[in-house]
Amino acid sequence: MPQPSLDELALLLMQLDPADEVGARRFADAMREAADTSAGLAPTSIIAVLKCTDSVENCAATERETVLAAAGTLLETWMRGDPLTWTAPSPQSAAASTTASTTASATPAAPAIVQPEVPSTPETLPDDVDLDLLRDFINESREMLVGAEAALLQLETDPANDEAVNTVFRAFHTVKGTAAFLGLGQLSLFAHKAESLLSQVRDRVLTYSVHTADLSLQSADMLREFLDAVEIGTDGSPLLLPEGLRELTAQLEAAATGKEPDDPAFDASPLPTARLGDILVDRGVVGRETLEAVHAGEPTVPLGEALVHANAAPLKDVAQALRQQAQQQKQVRQESAGAADSIRVRTDRLDRLIDMVGELVIAQAMIGADDVVMQAGHQGLSRKVSMAGKIVRDLQDLSMSMRMVPLKPVFQKLARLVRDLSQKSGKAVEFQTHGEDTELDRNMVDAIADPLVHMVRNSLDHGLETPAERTAAGKRSAGVLRLSAYHAGGAVVVELHDDGRGLNREKIVAKAIAKGLIDSGKQLSDHDVFALIFAPGFSTADQVTDISGRGVGMDVVRRNIEGIRGTIEITSAAGQGTTFRLRLPLTLAITDGMLVRVGTERYIVPTTSIQLSFRPNADQICTVAGKGELVVLRGETLPIVRLHRLFNVQGARERFDESLLMLVGDGDKRVALMVDDLLGQHQVVAKSLGQGIGRVDGLSGGAILGDGRVGLIIDVGQIVSLSRNGPSSDESVGGDRRAVA
């Protein structure tokens, strides 16, 4: 043992000021030198020393004291001649470890080094932290982690994808750097560990295996939990470290048993592109074997040159391939530059902008309809007005598009879910996504995320069979779950298809009868039977599993989807699979409505709740006890709701042969709404009636109509319940009386 040199090291360490970065580097250099020169040091010990120096050099300034203290302990162990291990200091390990462990096992399950109480790692956030910066950091990091997760999933199918590795690496690296800058030592440290693992994958020290994949995904989760904890900590409450942090840290270290590379300056590394050899093979210029043989022959010469030397490929083709590579590099650079080409805007400002553009459209329409403009002899003026109108409409389209975001993040989240669930359930699943660039209003994207999670769980648990069942049925052992999104008829359709066993009609009917939902399934169509699974409390799973079937089922999904004015339908074929089809409006802000006239008033009835409108014949109408009015339509009797009575409107048409009936509502909550006239279909921007009035029964809000007046939007569901409870309530009695008086 070269004791003097170690003594020198100890001296250097004692004199070192934790704030002195240059000194720390010098110390690290000296330590590496000592490790190099010392004979008889076990390889694991050398690795420990190298890890230690890496930490000393790369730790945040606030942590250096802790790291140096740990390095001191390592040095002591070294002096005793015991095998060395290095565990980067963290408060948990500090609390847990009391003695210097001398194990040199590859899995440092127990922290190997005595760590002093950590004064520099804060229990709460640092006092001087800039909260705005911190929030930005949290948001940005979350976004990066979403990207990282997507890349990790990409690696599942394509483990050699360097670009994906780099994306993940970049995300972890950025989190690490910023966290260190903000004084979030623990977070930075953990990100470093996660990053190190990936840098080894990138540098081909490690191959990307299932284990690496799991660890990386868990790391992404852990970082996210960390961010949540930090967010909670922004109000000054203590920073709770996520559970399982230590275990995962240990696993990460165990996985990275090779030499830990120096903290790479990522920005300087070349941008990820296809390799020259790959391009040449793809183009069919040269075979993979030849290529490898040539490369093995002249490993130091650039591949292109080597190929030409060996006459394996014509110069022209190599040059072409080189050009293509250069172009790709340029493209990648542009893409990464393009990613930063956006700014954050507060959503309330955006909403205000959209509102104001809406006003502009209406104001412009009012100018266009003005008598002066419409008069003959003002061609110049009317041309200018219509030109302004075109610009205003473009502006409206543009402002609407600002709220639109692609479905991609939701799909990515689901991909992750499928991966986890398939591992848990032992069902092999191939998850395919299509049309993830389809855009939806941001609010809608948020609103469908949870229902989709539920549906995916459901499909995996109930839809897809186990590999054994599938093989027995003559199918591929891996099930296919396909999620696709596309535009259709002014709406966005999101489809979830599985190629599993399909819905079992008999089982559903039996269950529905047992639950008292139906009497018998005889006269029900498949469509009606499948719709039963949306009934509250309905679940056909034979047993409650960990994945789904907790009693709250598809009824929640349907309610959520209908809450955003969407519809859901099922098609299924036994043995071939099931498809859930969600049809969603493009945006929540715009309602498709039918403008109806009732006396002097106009109302908007949402088109989605209208089934049909018709003028009844006298023989279709019958009354009950002289008061309750019913209409018979296709053998069904429906109560008639006179809107003018309910809303106390003067001058409405009273006779059935003069007015129209609109069939609204669904299921057993259908009524025939009596109105004077239909004025046409309009797209309106739904607004609240203002806090001054608050909620009004029977109305869901208001909207500015083309003439600048406010139109009221009818809430069909409430109309139905009003018409049932109405006659007994004081208010409507008063209303009726007033109408008569």
Output 260-267 pairs: Cβ under 8 A, ≥24 positions apart.
260/47, 260/50, 260/51, 260/54, 260/196, 260/200, 261/196, 261/199, 261/200, 261/203, 261/205, 262/54, 262/57, 263/54, 263/57, 263/58, 263/192, 264/199, 266/169, 266/170, 266/173
Nearer to other proteins by Cβ, of 231 and 697: the residue is 697
Applying CB under 8 A, among 648, 679, 682, 706 the residue interacting with other proteins is: 648
Q: Give the DSSP per-residue string, 313-330.
A: S-HHHHHHHHHHHHHHHH
CA angle 524, 530, 533 (to 5 degrees): 120
Q: CA-based diameter of the chain, in Å?
A: 113
Q: Does 646 bind other proteins (CB under 8 A)?
A: yes
704 touches other proteins by CB under 8 A: yes
Spatial distance between the Cα atoms of 447 and 585, rounded to a whole number of angstroms: 12
Three-class DSSP category at 598: strand
Which is closer to other proteins, CB of 680 or CB of 708?
708
Residues 6+ apart with CB under 8 A from 656: 615, 616, 618, 621, 674
Interface with other proteins, residue 741, by CB under 8 A: yes
State yes or no: residue 288 binds other proteins (CB under 8 A). no
Among 55-63, 399-407, 651-659, 694-702, the segment contacting other proteins (CB under 8 A): 694-702
Interface with other proteins (CB under 8 A), residue from 12, 632, 689, 721: 689
Alpha-carbon gap, residue 373 to 383, rounded angstroms = 9
Q: If residue 69 lies in a helix (H) or strand (E), which one and from where to where?
A: helix 64-80
Per-residue 3-state assignment (H helix, E strand, C coil) for 602-618: EEEEEHHHEEEEECCCH
Q: Please, which of residues 572-601 interact with other proteins by CB under 8 A? A: 601
Q: CA 671, CA 723: separation in Å to the nearest integer?
A: 9
For residue 632, the cross-strand partners are 637
How far apart are CB 585 and other proteins at their closest, in Å? 21
Residue with tokens 């980067």: 88
Nearer to other proteins, 554 or 712 (CB): 712
**Residue closer to other proteins (CB basis): 47 or 662:** 662
Q: How many residues bind other proteins (CB under 8 A)?
A: 40
Are β-strands 479-488 and 567-573 bridged in parallel, bridged antiparallel, or unpaired?
Answer: unpaired
Q: Does 710 bind other proteins (CB under 8 A)?
A: yes
Smaller CB separation from other proteins, 669 or 737: 737
Dist. CA 662–CA 17, nearest whole Å: 83
Q: Using the minimum distance from each CB to other proteins, give the nearer residue, 356 or 573.
A: 356
The residue range among 51-59, 130-138, 374-382, 728-736 that interacts with other proteins, by the rule CB under 8 A, is 728-736
Give whichever of 593 and 701 is closer to other proteins, judged by the CB atom. Answer: 701
* Residue 386 near other proteins by CB under 8 A: no
Q: Which of 235, 625, 692, 728 binds other proteins (CB under 8 A)?
A: 692
The C-alpha atoms of residue 473 and residue 493 are separated, in whole angstroms, by 31
Piece of 20-28, 111-119, 185-193, 729-737 that binds other proteins (CB under 8 A): 729-737
Nearer to other proteins, 234 or 718 (CB): 718
724 makes contact with other proteins (CB under 8 A): no
725 binds other proteins (CB under 8 A): no
Q: How far is the CB of 369 from other proteins (least distance, A)?
A: 15
Shortest CA distance to 462 belongs to which of 472, 450, 454?
454
Nearer to other proteins, 157 or 600 (CB): 600
Residues 18-57 that bind other proteins (CB under 8 A): none
> Least distance in Å: CB of 697 to other proteins?
6
Site residues (CB under 8 A) for other proteins, limited to 319-378: 355-356, 358-359, 362
Binding residue (CB under 8 A) for other proteins from 712, 716, 720, 723: 712
Asked if residue 735 binds other proteins (CB under 8 A), the reply is yes
Note whether 696 binds other proteins by CB under 8 A. yes
Question: Taking Cα atoms as reference points, which of 598, 595, 579 lies closest to residue 675?
Answer: 598
Residue 706 within binding range of other proteins, rule CB under 8 A: no
Interaction of residue 734 with other proteins, rule CB under 8 A: yes
Taking CB under 8 A as the binding criterion, the range among 276-284, 486-494, 530-538, 731-739 that sits at the site for other proteins is 731-739
User: In the complex, what is the shortest distance from the CB of residue 599 to other proteins, in angstroms, rounded to a whole number?
Assistant: 10
580, β-bridge pairs? 496, 570
727 binds other proteins (CB under 8 A): no
Angstrom distance (rounded) from CA 736 to CA 125: 64
Q: List the end-to-end C-alpha distance of the chain, in Å, as a whole number.
A: 111
Options 173-181, 220-228, 631-639, 693-701: segment touching other proteins (CB under 8 A): 693-701
Task: For the CB of residue 482, give the shortest distance to other proteins in the complex, in Å.
Answer: 42
3-class DSSP assignment, residue 427:
coil
Q: Which is nearer to other proteins, 235 or 730 (CB)?
A: 730
C-alpha Rg value of the chain to the nearest Å: 35
Phi, psi of 568 (to 5 degrees): -135, 135
Q: Is 633 in the site for other proteins (CB under 8 A)?
A: no
Distance CA 115, CA 153 (A): 37
Q: Is 669 in the site for other proteins (CB under 8 A)?
A: no
Interior angle at CA 41, CA 37 and CA 47, nearest 5: 95
For the chain, helix, strand, coil in percent to 5 are: 50, 15, 35
Binds other proteins (CB under 8 A): choice among 708, 724, 725, 727 = 708
Kindly report the three-state secondary structure assignment for every residue of 704-740: ECCCCCEEEEECHHHHHHHHHHHHHCHHHHHHHHHHH
Using CB under 8 A, pick the residue from 7, 282, 446, 731 that binds other proteins. 731
Q: Which is nearer to other proteins, 556 or 704 (CB)?
A: 704
Q: Judged by CB under 8 A, does residue 699 bind other proteins? A: yes
Beta bridge partners of 431: 481
What is the Cα–Cα distance from 173 to 166, expressed in whole angstroms?
10
Considering the complex, state which of residue 636 and residue 731 has its C-beta at the smaller distance from other proteins. 731
715 binds other proteins, rule: CB under 8 A: no
Measured from the CB atom, is 393 or 505 closer to other proteins?
393
Query: Per CB under 8 A, does 675 bind other proteins?
Result: no
Q: Which is nearer to other proteins, 1 or 710 (CB)?
A: 710
Pick from 322, 639, 697, 721: which binds other proteins (CB under 8 A)?
A: 697
Instruction: Report the alpha-carbon distance of residue 354 to residue 590 in Å, rounded.
Output: 11
In whole angstroms, give the CA distance from residue 399 to residue 350: 8
Residue 352 Cβ, how far from other proteins at the closest point, in Å? 10
Residues that bind other proteins (CB under 8 A): 355-356, 358-359, 362, 601, 646-649, 687-694, 696-699, 701-702, 704, 708-712, 729-731, 733-735, 737-738, 740-741
